Chain A
Amino acid sequence: MPSGSNGVHRLSHGRALGLRTFILSIFCIGLMMIDLRGDMLRPARELLMSIAYPLQTVAATPASLLNWSDDSGRSRAELALENARLKRERLLSDARLQQLNAIAAENDRLRAMLDARPRVGADMRVAQIIDVDTDRYRHRVVLNKGANQEIATRQAIVDANGIVGQVIEVGPFSSNVMLISDPGHAIPVEVVRNGLRTVAFGAGEYDQLDVRYLPNNADVVVGDLLVTTSLGGDFPPGYPVAEITAVDIQPRQEFAKVTATPVAALTQIREVLVLASRQPITDTEDEDGQERE
């Protein structure tokens, strides 16, 4: 221990410290550059994420205990009420699903007539968001499933309402998701009303996306729904992303200033669906895939 060391050590201390700081700093900068540019550090990242996972689990315990006590402390009447509401909703969505099956079959026939490739559907699995805070300057969440549950990078994350984000890093037991509101995120979208394609950028606010590159004369109005397109390849097409909240025409600028609000409740979600491997929707076993946990 240097705390008990002699003067000789202390004399050499200053220079060694400077050198060590310098070398380690250069090493860190190198690590960052490699990490930002490629996939080479993935084994190291996986190892570190498996070290971090127990920490995250423990850190999330108070919050999950609170949730648990909240759930178990509720009265029978409340639970019965919720149960009734869920049953009602289930009935409604079942009814919608019946229609959807017919429409999907019809769509397949039409596409076959047009010689188009069948649309790809998605296999989903449920994951929970671990209640931990991540870097305060980014919009990231941690899922409790990782490579061991066949989660892979670039898979899309949705909740009941629409697109939440996409998986960016995968550890053995957990994975990191970048939300669509992250300042570093961009998602190709189209206006559902007229098929106008554009890109929605995260703005660093949970309730706002910037829709850039729309010319001033673009046919877009407040209330328009934006859905994913298959351009870009990361997101399956047709999932709702956001709703236009403001269209500010700027005559002096090339593009209008358009903002939208994500339809997914980004700050309230606890459970999400990971859209896993893709299969053609003609495969009628798709519903079995959806029920898989």
Chain B
Amino acid sequence: MAKKGSDRPSVLVLALLIALLLSAVPLSESLAPFRPDWVALVLLYMAIYTPNQWLMTSAFFCGLIMDALFATPLGQYSLALIIACYFPHKLHLRLMLVPIWQSTVSAVLYIATYQFVLFWVNGANNNDVGAGFYLWPIIGTVIVWPVLLVILDTARLGRRTKT
């Protein structure tokens, strides 16, 4: 749990902004399918390490901005983020104690949930793409999540918390 006083919430707002930026930065066509879901990962960090009543609201508004960025129906990314954030938020007391490799496993499950909701919404309005396509971002997630964890912990608390 974060030490009182050393916590800097502004870091997380900044992290969300950067995550939004990174999700719009152009990648080459061969890399783009593997792009980690940056916003979802920052929200996962917030759900586990700084859970509070603003998390779902932040997820909602980030999702809306992503919908505007990506020209998807308003609410699609919000819905995916909110549903995916529910479980890590509910289980945060357990999740914050696990070592990095286990937390990477939970990040993978989380991203799979997130992608599944996107897949479901796309399917529901006849925008089908092959299901395998939705699993590629998980590869990006596995690579990025441990690094993101260390960076955010350092930025927020000045060091990596002992687990």
- Complex: chain A residue closest to B27, CB-CB: A133
Q: How far is the CA of A98 from the CA of B83 in the complex (A)?
A: 61
0/1 per residue, A125-164, Cβ < 8 Å to B? Answer: 0000001111111101010000000000000000000000
Residue of A nearest to B69 (CB): A52
- Binary contact track A42-63/B, C-beta < 8 Å → 1, others 0: 0011001101100110111011
Q: Are B33 and A35 in contact (CB under 8 A)?
A: no
Question: Contacts of B126 on A, CB cut-off 8 Å?
Answer: 184
Contacts A56-B24, A136-B33 given; does A4 touch B4 at CB 8 Å: yes
- Docked CA distance A135–B133 (Å): 12
Q: Are B70 and A135 in contact (CB under 8 A)?
A: yes
| Cβ–Cβ contact B86 & A17, under 8 A | yes
- Whether B60 sits at the interface, judged by CB under 8 Å, is yes
Complex interface: stretch among A19-27, A226-234, A275-283: A19-27
Query: Do A35 and B73 form a contact, CB below 8 Å, given A28-B79, A58-B21, A184-B127?
Result: yes
A1 touches B82 (CB 8 A): no
List of B residues within 8 angstroms of A169 by Cβ: 71
Residues of A with C-beta under 8 A to B26: 59-60, 63, 131-133
- For the complex, what is the distance from the CA of A55 to the CA of B126, rounded to whole Å? 29
Which residues of chain B come closer than 8 Å to A59, judged between CB atoms? 21-22, 24-26
Output the nearest chain B residue to A137 by Cβ-Cβ distance: B129
A177 to chain B, nearest CB (A): 9
**Residue contact A132 to B121, C-beta cutoff 8 Å:** no
Q: Give the residues from 47 to 70 in chain B that come closer than 8 angstroms, CB to CB, to chain A.
A: 50-53, 56-57, 59-60, 63-65, 67-70
Instruction: Please tell me if the beta carbons of A28 and B20 are within 8 angstroms of each other in the complex.
Output: no
Report the bound CA distance from A281 to B118 in whole Å. 45
Assembly CA distance A155 to B160 (angstroms) = 52
Interface residue tally of chain A, by bracket?
35 or more
Chain A interface (Cβ < 8 Å from any Cβ of B): 1-4, 14, 16-18, 20-21, 24-25, 27-32, 35-36, 41, 44-45, 48-49, 51-52, 55-56, 58-60, 62-63, 131-138, 140, 142, 168-169, 171, 176, 178, 183-184, 204, 267
Identify the interface centre among B7, B65, B82: most chain A CB within 10 Å of its CB.
B82
Least CB distance, A69 to chain B, in whole angstroms: 16
0/1 interface trace, chain B 100-127, chain A, CB 8 Å (1 if under): 0000000000000000001001100111
**Residues of the A chain whose Cβ atoms lie less than 8 Å from the Cβ of B29:** 267
Given known contacts A24-B56, A28-B60, A55-B20, A133 and B71 CB-to-CB distance under 8 angstroms: no
Q: Once bound together, how far apart are the Cα atoms of A178 and B22, in whole Å?
A: 22
With a cutoff of 8 Å between Cβ atoms, the chain A residues found around residue B68 in the complex are: 45, 48-49, 51-52, 171
| Chain A residues with CB below 8 A from B133, complex form | 136-137
Question: Of A25, A63, A204, which one neighbours B79 at CB under 8 angstroms?
Answer: A25
Given known A-B contacts A58-B21, A184-B127, A168 and B75 have beta carbons under 8 A apart: no
